[in-house]
Structure 1
């Protein structure tokens, strides 16, 4: 009696099988990558309300933290806060706005992903040097001290945008203190400040930008501002990718 034994070439190979399972197993056990982190510069003249705005942002996105105080001490150096969003971290840098500290701003430009420039809309006169279309606005005379700090604000914003390291960085201009009766309307700030900066000799030309109203004291407009910044750093992530923590 003859017994034939057939050895199949498709026998189970435990090593090969294990190797095939490694990618699947790795995919199951390997944790997802952490959300990227984007750095946002919060700039503006001294007393524009930057520190109050940063406190308001923290209060909105971290409810356990206290609401901002009505009076703050001017920032000497920097304040930093990180807020957790579903798809990213936003690290907001509040940099001191005193004239002696503004030279330090440029050291942050290369690594930032967006800029928020805060304007005190109660301290820029009519919002347009010499009045809108040369007219006397709101009882203020053309030029002079009645323009408040408009010329200074425009010069500082021009210097920020003229720097090579801010090229292509999304810019949000926030018209702060819109809760006050003596504030300048957003449309005048847009026409009299932002548009003139962009069209000026030192302007940066076309860039991703927007002007929005807010009140750092009451929190009005804060979430809209953060959402705009979030959407723009995502849109610009090929040029300036986020950092993995």
Structure 2
């Protein structure tokens, strides 16, 4: 085991302009001593951070409606879901909730840890965490026994970002029997 590295893959989902790419960039900056470059494709940003014997790879998938149909191509290789909601955008919160509900009902993602991030918590008009939880709570029946939580962050200022990544790292390890990491030589 000492001559191999464990790779986990986290998909970052959410509507366009929710702050997914900003969050990925903040994660990269927070773990700057061990970061690898973020690579960009047409609809995806990819970033990797090293945490001891583990690599966490983040796939930031485009949130525009025409790009959402591509999300399913990443499900089979994913180990966790990071769903980003713009907590300051009251006009699109119902749309975000609908997409989140679809994600939680997707059989291919059953059992994966799911972190719902209320981003842009630093904005004055941002919905507080209790309101967001109340709004998304009816969807909890779709979650089953999987690890899940809701955290408040400001990707722009870095508030709550380390806590979010730490939560994911613990859950990835805890869920390894359900979705084992990809092992690669050092």
Q: Give the TM-score normalised by the residue count of structure 1.
A: 0.70
Higher relative contact order (CA 8 A, sep 6+): 2
Query: Structure 1 residues 212 and 236 mapped into 2: Cα distance closer, same or farther (>3 Å)?
Result: same
Equivalents in 1 of 2:16, 2:70: separation in Å?
14
> Runs (4+) of structure 1 moved beyond 6 Å?
none
Alignment RMSD: 1.7
Equivalents in 2 of 1:62, 1:87: separation in Å?
17
* SS of the residue 2:45 aligns to: strand
Q: Shift of the alpha carbon at 1:64?
A: 8.7
Contact between 1:114 and 1:233, CA under 8 Å: does it hold in 2?
yes
For residue 119 of structure 1, what is the aligned residue in structure 2? 85
Q: Shift of the alpha carbon at 1:198?
A: 1.9
The reply on whether 1:106 has 2:83 as its aligned counterpart is no
Contact between 1:174 and 1:213, CA under 8 Å: does it hold in 2?
yes
Equivalents in 2 of 1:64, 1:231: separation in Å?
18
What is the correspondence of 1:59-138 to structure 2 with a 5 Å cutoff?
Answer: 59-63=29-33, 76-124=42-90
* SS of the residue 2:59 aligns to: strand
The reply on whether 1:42 has 2:8 as its aligned counterpart is no
Contact between 2:26 and 2:158, CA under 8 Å: does it hold in 1?
yes
Q: Give the TM-score normalised by the residue count of structure 2.
A: 0.91
Equivalents in 2 of 1:175, 1:41: separation in Å?
16
Contact between 1:198 and 1:206, CA under 8 Å: does it hold in 2?
no
Q: Shift of the alpha carbon at 1:63?
A: 4.7
Equivalents in 2 of 1:32, 1:229: separation in Å?
23
* SS of the residue 1:109 aligns to: helix
Contact between 2:86 and 2:93, CA under 8 Å: does it hold in 1?
no
Query: Structure 1 residues 168 and 40 mapped into 2: Cα distance closer, same or farther (>3 Å)?
Result: same
* SS of the residue 2:8 aligns to: strand
Q: Shift of the alpha carbon at 1:244?
A: 1.2
Q: Which runs of 5+ in 2 are unaligned?
A: 36-40
Which of 110, 124, 136 in structure 2 is aligned with 1:181? 124
Count of residue pairs brought into register by the alignment: 179
The structure richer in strand per residue is 2
